[in-house]
Amino acid sequence: MRTINLGKSGLQVPVIAVGCWRMHRASRAEAEVFVKSAMDYGANFFDNADVYGGDGLCETIFAQASGMNPSVREKLILQTKCGIRMNAAFDFSREHILESVDASLKRLKTGYIDVLLLHRPDALVEPEEVAEAFETLHASGKVRFFGVSNQKPSQIQLLQKYIKQPIVANQLQLSIAHAGMISQGLLVNTLNEGAADRDGSVLDFCRLNDITIQPWSPFQYGFNQGVFLGSEKFPGLNARLDELAEKYSVSNTTIAMAWLLRHPARFQPITGTMKPERLKDCIRAAGITLSRDEWYAIYLAAGNILP
């Protein structure tokens, strides 16, 4: 599969990342088939979190499904997240970060994590503590690179003021039907509602600072409101996606993913499926480059506007 640089890490990663947050819903056999299929497709970047499935269950299942051992581990790029506690509180304390990583390493049956993300912002964050935790983890070899999720520029800058290691990734919700970070740039200097800057121009910030944006829920609209593919709420969008799917002889899933990959920010979308065929449809997008006219036609079909 086509690869990109992950931020300033120097790490070459597949342009499509495999999300593991639904892995606890699969049987042991289904999980094994899924992981093997992903590897066969060249999708060896797996995204997890210590709260996926409840108390790290998805990490445990992934280790079992992959048959984790040293020879398997060297073929994988593992990303996981910490900072959300099971009681719905956020905790970026040094103690919690270190304990969370040790627990994830144990569940994943590995000695190191390639990328560790802080999972959503913590209002009580003390960046000096985060810096201490990151330095300990990096020096010990337990974590190679670090990132964040759902953070705006000023939050990243606050962390980066104290952290020696560069923030290499920021996981943010983004799709054709949830494209506010793109729309606010297009509608700048207008009074349209879409011009409202709700995220501190995070798209431009990440591009300026070589931080890879990892879009999550690439087929969702709103916040967990549903999938736009096949939805009666988006007839124009689905008609346009189906038209292009026929043109390129692929599925509408592939075209929707290709829309994200066409953006010059070089996104690394995170899939959410546990179905090998749907994952394959997502991966096919890496081989399609939509034209400028096609990209804008899809954007407008979703109800987005231009000035």
214 lies in some domain: yes
Give the tens place of pLDDT for each residue, 245-303: 999 999 999 999 999 999 999 999 999 999 999 999 999 999 999 999 999 999 999 99
pLDDT at 88 over 80: no
Of 36, 45, 39, 35, the residue nearest 11 (C-alpha): 45
In this prediction the pTM is 0.97
What is the predicted pLDDT for the residue at 223?
83
Domain-located, residue 186: yes
pLDDT digits (tens, 9 = 90+) for 53-68: 988 999 999 999 999 9
Task: Give me the pLDDT at residue 257, please.
Answer: 98
Average pLDDT across the chain, whole number: 97
Q: Which amino acid is at 206?
A: C
In-domain check, residue 219? yes
Could you say which of 52, 162, 248, 296 is catalytic?
Answer: 52
**Do 134 and 92 contact (CB within 8 A), yes or no?**
no
Residue 257 lies inside a defined structural domain of this protein: no
Q: Are 263 and 204 in contact (CB under 8 A)?
A: no
Q: How many domains does the chain have?
A: 1
Is the Cα dihedral 137, 211, 41, 218 positive or negative?
positive
Q: What is the CATH number of the domain that holds 153?
A: 3.20.20.100
Look at residue 202 and tell me if it is in a domain: yes
Would 292 be classed as within a structural domain? Answer: no
Q: What proportion of the chain, given as a percentage, has pLDDT over 90? A: 97
Q: Let me know: does 145 contact 11? Beta carbons within 8 Å.
A: yes
CA angle 250, 285, 144 (to 5 degrees): 155
* Residue reference for tokens 């935790």: 133
Residue 78 lies in a domain: yes
User: Is 221 one of the annotated active-site residues of the chain?
Assistant: no
- Identify the pLDDT of residue 87: 77
In a domain, 252, yes or no: no
Range(s) of the domain holding residue 92: 3-232+266-274
The string of pLDDT tens digits covering residues 28-57 is 999 999 999 999 999 999 999 999 998 899
